[in-house]
Amino acid sequence: MLLRYRKNLLYSQLNLLDSHDVSRFLTLCGGDTGRLKLAVLFQMCFVGIPSIFYGDEQGFAGAAEDEYRRPMRWDGDRDMLLFYQRAIRLRRAHAALRRGSFEIISAQGRSFVFRRAVEQERVVVALNAGRSELPPGEVLWAGENFIVVKEV
């Protein structure tokens, strides 16, 4: 996306993980909620506007049209819902994640580290699809395979 679109368009680009026309992202992740959480965190920290298709926050899965278009349930995965809420709060709390510049720091193996910066605020996000240890820092949020650090 960074190469395909002009910079001024990136900030208004809707970023979807799935929609009513494709298999649910959780299904594409083989049901691995850890993978979905990495994608959600990236979606909330990347340039553009995150767009959540109903039910993703409840852990909906489905590969066929009747599965991924089924009616909304409210008794889904509470842990996933809380993760979405926290990721949204993180984005709302930091201007750098909403309108800051985007810089790739490292992309090696199964890890991806980038920085978002605006005015005096700089936020570094490290995502690790493997299971190796992530770097320490002034932590805003950390999980098993990610860390979000505010640089001073």
Task: Give the pLDDT confidence of 47-60 residue by residue, as tens digits.
Answer: 999 999 999 999 99
Looking at residue 146, its pLDDT comes to 83
Looking at residue 152, its pLDDT comes to 63
Looking at residue 55, its pLDDT comes to 94
Element (H, E) at 96: helix 95-99
Looking at residue 145, its pLDDT comes to 78
Over the stretch 84-111, which tens digit does the pLDDT of each residue have? Answer: 999 999 999 999 999 999 999 999 888 8
CA dihedral over 96, 47, 80, 108, signed as positive or negative? negative
C-alpha to C-alpha distances, 63 to 52, 75, 131, nearest whole angstrom? 17, 20, 27
CB proximity list for 119: less than 8 A, separation 6 or greater = 95
Amino acid identity of residue 16, one-letter, is L
User: Do residues 134 and 126 touch, judged by C-beta distance below 8 A?
Assistant: yes
Classify domain 7-151 by CATH number. 3.20.20.80
Note the pTM of the prediction, 2 decimals.
0.89
Looking at residue 130, its pLDDT comes to 75
Looking at residue 73, its pLDDT comes to 87
Enumerate residue ranges in the chain where pLDDT < 50: none
